Structure 1
């Protein structure tokens, strides 16, 4: 999925950086859970799931 959607890969990379920051103690858990990166990642994943669902429905009709 990330090869097809570079935006998701970028967000995953940013989420990994956020996680590393959390492990190093540079970010609090409260800040990490409210992070804009995670919100954007969740939105992008939901959008991709919806697209895949629509594609699946279309291919079943053929």
Structure 2
């Protein structure tokens, strides 16, 4: 899926960075950026499924 759509790879990279930040307690799930990244990734994946 990431080879077909580089934007999804970017979102996955951002999600990985976000996850690491959560593990280091540098951010929370309530963080606006966190929410936006996860919603955008979810939407992109759902579009690929259909």
3-state secondary structure, aligned to 2:31: helix
Matches within 5 A, 1:1-62: 1-31=1-31, 35-50=35-50
**Structure 1: segments with no counterpart, 5+ residues:** 51-62
Q: TM-score, normalised by structure 1?
A: 0.71
Distance 1:14 1:5 in 2: 15
Distance 1:11 1:26 in 2: 19
Kindly name which structure, 1 or 2, has the bigger radius of gyration based on alpha carbons.
Answer: 1
Which 4+ residue blocks in structure 1 deviate beyond 6 angstroms?
A: none
User: Higher helix fraction: Structure 1 or Structure 2?
Assistant: 1
> CA RMSD for the aligned pairs?
1.5
- Structure 2: tracts of 5 or more residues without a match: none
